[in-house]
Amino acid sequence: MEEAPLYQWFAEPSGPLESKFLSRVLNGRLTKEECRYIGFREQMYRPELIRRTVLEVLGTMLSCQLAYQYGLSSNVAGGTHHARRDKGAGYTILNDLAIAANFITDEKLNKKTIVGVERVLVIDTDVHQGDGTASFSALHDQNRLFTLSLHCADNYPQLKATSTYDVGLPAGCDDDEYMEALQKSVCQAISETKPQFVLYDAGVDVYANDKLGRLKITENGIHQRDRYVIDKCVGEGIPVVAVVGGGYDKDVNALARRHAIVHEECAFVW
């Protein structure tokens, strides 16, 4: 990590983040209000949290290089989709999806480890809208980034952003309703945007008993969801990277088991 050119990869002018914001994050100098808005408050000054934040983003970038080579890869972290160009939010600090999309569509930045990728589609199935990813207007305006957000309409954030495709699901949505909406929206997004790379945010906060979820998706439903998205991308010949997204449970073993589902499905499709 110490040798990685973080400012070049993450911050403007070559990266998508505001340079001053990145500097405050890396040096533990965010204001109290910025820390409160993220949600971690005084924890934001801890070196281990800052390091973990950076490694999470680098993990998604590395996964992109692997998926470009092999067609499929997954990160055991990532999906920080509420973070914006100049601030973090909703327990996410640096937006790995936007940083990765910028990295893989810039051959000079990635030193041609990934070539020929001009259009990236983010398929975001976290229960909360990917408002931060949708806010990276420069990437959207250049047609380098397209976003599909399949989320609970009656959930955080209260003020929604505008994704390329927004599918707001009603509270209490079950497996069958969910899969119908997922298949329709994923097919539409892939058909219309013709992505050359997919970043898949596989949040497990859609689970019926997730304390921040409000949907009624079973663990079997999560398996179906992940297998469908991954198999669809691989079948279309589109490199895909899966990241874990959100999930909230006091039983950390149960939560870890749900987060492992996307990796199990990656292995199955592989």
Cβ atoms 156, 127 nearer than 8 A: no
**Residue 19: is it exposed, middle or buried by C-beta count within 10 angstroms (0-12/13-18/19+)?**
middle
Predicted TM-score (pTM) of the model is 0.97
Cα separation values, 10 from 6, 180, 206, 252, 262, Å = 6, 36, 30, 31, 26
pLDDT of residue 2: 63
pLDDT average per 10 residues of sequence, the chain (270 residues): 87 97 96 95 93 97 98 98 97 98 98 98 98 96 97 94 97 97 98 98 97 95 98 98 96 97 97
